[in-house]
Every structure is written in structure tokens, then in C-alpha cells.
Amino acid sequence: MNYATQMEAARKGIFTKQMEEVLREETVSKEFLMAEMAAGRIVIPANKKHKNIVGKAVGNGLKTKVNVNLGVSEDECNNHLELEKVRTAIDMKADAIMDLSIYGDTKNFRKKLVEMSPVMLGTVPMYDAVAKYGKDIGRMTVEDLFEVVVEHCEDGIDFLTIHAGLNLECVKRIQNNPRLTHIVSRGGSILYEWMLINKKENPFYEHFDRLLDICREYDVTLSLGDGLRPGSLKDATDAPQIQELLILGELTKEAWKKDVQVMIEGPGHVPFNEIAGNMMLEKKLCHGAPFYILGPLVTDIAPGYDHITSAIGGTLAATHGADFLCYVTPAEHLRLPDLQDMKEGIIASRIAAHAADIANGVKGAIDWDHEMSKARGELNWERMFELAIDPEKAREYRKSSSPENEEVCTMCGDLCPIKRGKDLKEA
């Protein structure tokens, strides 16, 4: 039997190679996976042109996934460094990588990324349209925008962030409800400017059927972007954000009619006490589609530490329905992240995801923690390093402060309660 997309395959009862790969690392049943994919609550982003991809699934009942953003800008255009980041992100077990490049030879970089990456890949075509054409934003045509979408699909990108929900109705909402930080989404701000200059509807909203036909042809997952996500706590859960979410819910149903897989992108900066409500709204208004979130950051006052503010919000969000965490680095709001920033962001997000998986009762998630506790109880340092989420850093800390008795650490020394308990048992 033939199928165009992973969603169509699930609906026809076809068990694909990518579904088989997903079940190697997930603990759900084949029947559950296919039923949830058919309903749109699980997606497997896997472009037919991305030949070396290993299937990963995002959505209901699965492990929380982590995405890593990278890519060059006009001020920091070092493709060699970005490719090193790609290799490092894969080694550090990132589940996805997004190329957000906005300058230079984006196509060549993107092709190298597809060739070397077994993990799912995402892009934002709107960024590349600006880099590709070098035009004033208002002079870009509908054909310009769709040409870039096709190019990214042809190059093998697995999921595309498209801000299709930011339509003229949303423009009214943002104008009638002034914000502290206005529009902080780069893609959203570009489309907002384009609509204001041209006095026309968002091309991706107006020609959404055309977009769906392209995605169906390549089996590219639509990651419906949150162009009006809040960029400050004050703007969280406001009228523009919710208006866009309503539109995204409607577009999701249209995509499912054509068997196109969909993820919904979410906030942003959200007070801790509003996170659960935001997750509930997305799942309700967008019919259970997987939720892909940036953060959310729970405070605005911590530049240099936003990987921490994001991890706090990410854990809570993932325990209330978020399925996919976009990492945030210490460089957020300050600069393009370097390699060390990226590492810290990945670890913080993976910790948040794992903590949520434990809280959600994902089968087998807590076993990792039990293994670590067993190694600690035995003062088995080598096993602790093997189990650590960042073995390199754990080894460095241990090595930097050597105790007189190698069995313990320099925190407690001879008063180590675990050692003394072991000695008492053995006496």
C-alpha cells in the first residue's frame, strides 16, 4: 500500500520504518503509536528526502523531546563553528536541530546539515527568504516565499516553522491590545511588517492549501509558529496570543484533512502560575496536537541564566501537556550562543525533559535515577560518571578536588554518611 505521509500511513494501518525506529526507544505499544498518529496527537517528522534520518516521535505519551537551535547571522557568520555545534548536539543526544540562519550561503549549510544529521531537522523559511532575496521585506512576493518553502522541502528539512496563524484579525488584536514587548518572534515580526506594508493577508494563511500540498508531497511536518508569543511576563496569555492560538487550531484541522502532520508552537515568557493554563488552552484549542514550546521562561530578570529560567518553566509545562522543548541557552537575549552556551542549554533542557517524564510516569524514565542512586549508595564513582547526564563535567568536578580517601569526596571526607553506613554493615 502506498502512503504520502506518516499520518496517512497510520490511518491506513501501514507500519513504517520510522515507526519501527520510534518503538526502539519508546515504551508505548505499536497500536497506541499508530492510533495517536492517526488522530494527530503524535507526529514523526521525516522528510522523504532526508535519507539518513532515524525516526523520532513527538507527542502524547512519549518521552519529552529537546530541540537545539543554531545557525549564523550577519554579525556572527562562522559555518565551521555551526557545523561543530551540529556534531556536538548530536553527541549530546539532542532530538532535533533547527537551522535559524539568516545570512550567507544558507543553502549549502542546510545541505551539509541534512547530509550529516540522523536527527530531525527544522527551519524557518521566512528567515531564509530575507537572506536569499536581499529585498526589502515589503517587496517580497508570494511566489518568493513559496519558492523558499519548496527549496527547504527539496533539501530534506523535516519540519518547517510557518507563522500561518498571524492573519489580519491577529493584526487588529495586537494593535488594539498594546504590549510591553510588542512582537518578539522574528518570523512573526517579518510577516507583520509585510502585511502592514502591502495591506494584504498573510500569504501562508491565504494560501494555506498550497502550503499543505507541498508538505504532503514531501511528508514535511508543519510546525505552526507562534508569531505573537509573549516576550515578557506582562504580555503572557493576552488577547493577541490567544487569538493566534484559535487560528492555529482551525488550521490544524485543515492540515489533518490532507494527512499533513502538525505541531503547535507556544510561549515564550509566562509566569509560573499561568503555565498549566497555557498548556491546557493549547491542547483544547488545537485538538491535542503536539505542543512545541520555547521555555517558557518564568522570569524576565535573569539574562545570562535563562537556560535555568527556561528549564524551570519547561519542566512544569511538560508535566501539563507540552511535548517538545526548544532549548534556551545562557546567551538568550544577549548574543548568538557559542559552543559552551549550547552545551549548557542542552543539558538544562534535557534535565527539564527527564524530570517531566518522571512526573508523567513515562515507563522506565525513573529507572535511570534508581541506577544512579544505587551507584551512589555503593560509592561506585565510575558508574556514577557513566550514568551522569554530563559525564565530562562530573569527572572534571571530581578531579578538581581530590580527597585524602579516594572512596569519598571532599565535601564530607571521613564523615561521609554513605561510607560510614557501609562500614557499619560490613563490621
* Cell numbers found for residue 265: 508552537
Total Cβ atoms within 10 A of residue 402: 10
* Cell numbers found for residue 201: 493577508
What is the rounded CA–CA span in Å between residue 324 and residue 322?
6
**Annotated binding residue 409:** yes
**Annotated binding residue 416:** yes
**Annotated binding residue 307:** no
**Annotated binding residue 98:** yes
**Annotated binding residue 170:** no
* Cell numbers found for residue 133: 532575496
**Annotated binding residue 226:** yes
**Annotated binding residue 134:** no
Contact present, 175 and 228 (Cβ < 8 Å)? no
**Annotated binding residue 144:** no
**Annotated binding residue 29:** no
**Annotated binding residue 153:** no
**Annotated binding residue 228:** yes
Q: Is the peptide bond before 337 cis (omega within 30 degrees of 0)?
A: no
**Annotated binding residue 207:** no
**Annotated binding residue 182:** no
**Annotated binding residue 52:** no
Q: Summarize the annotated binding site for substrate as residue ranges.
A: 69, 98, 127, 163, 185-187, 226-229, 265, 292
Binding residues for Zn(2+): 269, 333
Binding residues: 69, 98, 127, 163, 185-187, 226-229, 265, 269, 292, 333, 409, 412, 416
Residue list, annotated binding site for [4Fe-4S] cluster: 409, 412, 416
